[in-house]
Amino acid sequence: MKIILLGAPGSGKGTLAKQITKDFSIPQISTGDLFREIVKTESPLANKVKEIMKSGALVPDEVTIQIMKDRISKPDCEKGFILDGFPRTIKQAIELQNISDIDIVILVNLSNDVIVERLSSRRTCPNCGEIYNTTTYKKESCEKCATKLIQRDDDKPETIKNRLEVYEKNTAPLINFYSEKLFMVSSAGSPIETYAKVKTFLQDLEDKN
């Protein structure tokens, strides 16, 4: 199954992707994670990407599309994948059509007020990428790999506002672009509740094919 997860930053795409990966045995491809790996390297590209991410802007389409092309061509993507955070512009979506077909686009819906609240209290494991929220997880290190959790630079209040504006301007138009493949889910409830709805939908889809 080839899935796109669409939704504003902080709407819960990453958490959902991890659950789908486990049950449906397809890899999560997060452009944000790929860029965070690039930033760890010492290169001119790393410095450029770091500054862009810190501001909440988008990495240029050419760079993003190339990185995605390389990742999708790996053998683990043959049976399908979940794209988490890609495409984020109409240009990326059009390019994606030349690379691969897509079965379904899941739109994760959440109000901006709740997004700001959740992003401000989000903590991330810089080692394994696991995501936590300080309202429900009180420890300072990752449950899975014991690495000290961090607050991403772009989860700080000054950047969150910009990321939401960038989403409205560049990414929200994709809802219309994918109108025929869209499954909408609210992530206002718990991650378990949100995933239950998605899982039922995906299982039905699998049974039909």
Site for ligand AMP in 1-40 (CB under 6 A): 9, 30-32, 35
Spatial neighbors of 41 by CB under 8 A, at least 6 apart, are none
What 8-state DSSP symbol labels residue 181? G
Question: C-beta of 200: minimal distance to ligand AMP in Å?
Answer: 26
The verdict on whether 13 is a catalytic residue reads yes
Candidates 39-47, 56-64, 124-132, 136-144; binding stretch for ligand AMP (CB under 6 A): 56-64
Residue 55: its H or E element: helix 44-55
The angle at the Cα of 137, spanning 136 to 142, to the nearest 5 degrees, equals 155
Beta strand 81-84 with 2-6 is parallel
The verdict on whether 152 is a catalytic residue reads yes
Q: Looking at the DSSP assignment, which residues form a beta bridge with residue 30? A: 84
Q: Which residue lies nearer to ligand AMP by CB, 74 or 206?
A: 74
Q: Write the interaction track for ligand AMP spanning residues 58-97; mark x where CB under 6 A is met and - where it is not.
A: xx----x--------------------xxxx---x-----
Site for ligand AMP in 145-174 (CB under 6 A): 154, 163
Query: Distance of CA 91 to CAs 31, 41, 45, 75, 155, Å?
Result: 15, 27, 21, 25, 26
The verdict on whether 74 is a catalytic residue reads no
Q: Nearest to ligand AMP by Cβ — which residue? A: 32
- What residue type is 97 in one-letter code? Q
Hey, how many other C-beta atoms are within 10 angstroms of the C-beta on 34? 19
Question: C-beta of 113: minimal distance to ligand AMP in Å?
Answer: 18
What 8-state DSSP symbol labels residue 59? P
- What residue type is 14 in one-letter code? G
Q: Which residue lies nearer to ligand AMP by CB, 26 or 67?
A: 67
Residues with a known catalytic role: 13, 88, 122, 152, 163
Residues of this chain that interact with ligand AMP (CB under 6 A) are: 9, 30-32, 35, 52-53, 56-59, 64, 85-88, 92, 154, 163
